[in-house]
A and B are shown apart, each in its own frame.
Chain A
Amino acid sequence: MAKRIDVSGLTAYYGSHKAIDDISMTVEPRSVTAFIGPSGCGKSTFLRTLNRMHEVTPGGRVEGKVMLDDENLYGKDVDPVAVRRTVGMVFQRPNPFPTMSIFDNVAAGLRLNGNYKKSELAEVVERSLKGANLWNEVKDRLNKPGSGLSGGQQQRLCIARAIAVEPDVLLMDEPCSALDPISTLAIEDLISELKERFTIVIVTHNMQQAARVSDRTAFFNLAAVGQPGKLVEIDETERIFSNPSVQATEDYISGRFG
């Protein structure tokens, strides 16, 4: 439950193109860390290296170390499939399994893992849907397809699916960018609740959102288009948004570029 992430010297490539260069940072457990930065600065790529999703893209490879407490995710004998079972992910666009019912969507991860009791399944599904603030809206139609829900509900369904397997870390890649303001608010409230139990990392283009939900904020930038993205600084959110130590951060936050 809720482990610390310690990244050191992480570089990621798409084929021969270096997407992010030599990133080191620590992500504290039971907190929300936000990644901000201009488009193409590699924050989503970096997020995807944290659960080894980067390497499923053709040509994607990674150098460096990601420690989850005392285990290196890029260790020699580590199975990426096993990593993804302990580091959950929520995507930019809601992606429930379209052919599955709401219940089956939430149960999908447990069924993959295989180690669950049939009697527990309904309980876990209910707990996860409650955890995602979706239970009251869907409890009467658990057998209906998940694709019939609204966008915001689908995204919360995806969160329920991700937390059903009790991951150590929850990664969110712009989880609200396809949602309306009310659904966004619902997700943000949810994030504040979830950080009591999980380590949460969220990529966002919305700086107000970063300021609202996160405890710490990391600012990424790139020197020019085609150059690799770099971590500029990571600090307490309050400090990043009031008195950042790097000029580029202040420029970005105050809207002078990007």
Chain B
Amino acid sequence: MAITTDNNAPAPPVAERASTSTGRAGDKIFLGLSRGSGILLLVIMASIAVFLTYRASLALSQNEGNFLTTFDWNPAGDPPVFGIAVLLFGTIVSSVIAMVIAVPIAVGIALFISHYAPRRLAAPLAYVVDLLAAVPSIIYGIWGALFLVPYLEGLNLWLDQFLGWTYIFEKTQVGVARSLFTVGILLAIMILPIVTSVSREVFLQVPRMNEEAALALGATRWEVIRLSVLPFGRSGVISASMLGLGRALGETMAVATVLSPSFVISLHLLDPGGGTFAQNIAAKFDEATELGRDALIASGLVLFVLTLLVNGAARLIIARRKEYSGANA
């Protein structure tokens, strides 16, 4: 793009030879292919955005409630009333719980594999973590509903007893743990592999000389990690977390299988109820009316924008740290 050839200038023999060689044709084909893929990506993104916006606008024009603040989802009613407040809350809360649990554990596993574990143990362990990513989400959902939910009841009672005073861990309803908290734990397990393997790759790329700089100053193994590995890997861990967050925000089947949905917002995280965008779409799409589908698409548009915002924020954080990143060392 930056290099243009002047066709009018007398062509030197070298350029002549180059233009007749087969390599030049290969360049053109490859340029066409890569440019085409790039354009195709933009076209797909744009058409998704246009589709979502158009269908959403059809639904929003008929909505009698406030789309952002209504605690109800009844597009088939008369008048149709639906709002995303509960879904937005549930999506963010369950994803935040997942991040709070998964990111520290993932960073810990990644550090163990990259810097602590003996080589014989590191490779199989990395493989097992990657294997977690290969489990289909419906399997996670079934496992969550049949195993996690009953077994978490004990933990919930314990949390209620000792941390109930924090309000968020106060349990006000008796019943099974089909709560946002359980969903958060399940999502944490599901995003663990992606956060771990991306972090691990970044930690392995820390230049040897950066670590030796710390070692030569008399740093212990943990201090080497604190001085060299974590600062170098910070932007990578942020990217990894955002990839994980992206998956947590959009996770559908596992959430739909575990959660017992209801249109309430409650900060009592252990109580069953609540909902997420993806779960709500999966649960209602089949039986929805025309307007109902458009309403669900409108909620999907919000999820789309939310994901874009999260990614944008992550890029900002990484860019702001660029001056200090290991990349320009």
Min C-beta distance of B324 to chain A, whole Å = 5
Q: Check: A161 CB closer than 8 A to any chain B CB.
A: yes
Interface pair B216/A88, CB less than 8 Å apart: yes
Using A98-B326, A99-B232 as known contacts, say yes or no to A89 and B227 having CB atoms under 8 A apart.
no
**8 Å CB interface, B200-227 against A:** 207, 209-210, 212-220, 223, 227
B-side contacts of A93, CB under 8 Å: 209
The CA of A98 and the CA of B324, in the complex, are separated in Å by: 6
**8 Å CB interface, A30-85 against B:** 51, 53, 56, 58, 81-85
Select the residue from B119, B218, B234, B329 with max chain A CB neighbours within 10 A.
B218
| 0/1 interface trace, chain A 109-123, chain B, CB 8 Å (1 if under) | 100110000000000
Q: Chain B at the A interface: mostly helix, strand, loop or mixed?
A: helix
Q: Check: A152 CB closer than 8 A to any chain B CB.
A: no
A-side contacts of B220, CB under 8 Å: 81
Min C-beta distance of B225 to chain A, whole Å = 13
Interface pair A145/B216, CB less than 8 Å apart: no
Q: Check: B323 CB closer than 8 A to any chain A CB.
A: yes
Q: Check: A96 CB closer than 8 A to any chain B CB.
A: yes
Q: How many A-B residue pairs have CB under 8 A?
A: 84
Interface pair A109/B213, CB less than 8 Å apart: no
Interface pair B210/A53, CB less than 8 Å apart: no
Contact of A112 among B207, B209, B218, B232 (CB under 8 A): B218
Chain B: how many interface residues by the 8 Å CB criterion? 26
Smallest Cβ-Cβ distance to B231: which chain A residue = A99
The CA of A160 and the CA of B263, in the complex, are separated in Å by: 63
Q: Check: B137 CB closer than 8 A to any chain A CB.
A: no
Interface pair B213/A96, CB less than 8 Å apart: yes
Using A81-B219, A147-B329 as known contacts, say yes or no to A97 and B213 having CB atoms under 8 A apart.
yes
Smallest Cβ-Cβ distance to A89: which chain B residue = B216
Contact of B218 among A81, A91, A95, A148 (CB under 8 A): A81
The CA of A157 and the CA of B218, in the complex, are separated in Å by: 17
Interface pair A161/B217, CB less than 8 Å apart: yes
Q: Check: A158 CB closer than 8 A to any chain B CB.
A: yes
The CA of A86 and the CA of B231, in the complex, are separated in Å by: 25
Q: Check: A162 CB closer than 8 A to any chain B CB.
A: yes
Smallest Cβ-Cβ distance to B321: which chain A residue = A99
Min C-beta distance of B275 to chain A, whole Å = 41
Smallest Cβ-Cβ distance to B235: which chain A residue = A99
Interface pair B216/A112, CB less than 8 Å apart: no
Which 3 A-B pairs give the minimum distances between C-beta atoms?
A85-B218, A99-B231, A98-B329
Pairs across A and B, CB under 8 Å, 5 listed: A53-B216, A81-B218, A84-B216, A95-B210, A145-B323
Q: A interface vs B, CB < 8 Å? A: 51, 53, 56, 58, 81-86, 88-89, 91, 93, 95-100, 108-109, 112-113, 145, 147-148, 158, 161-162, 165
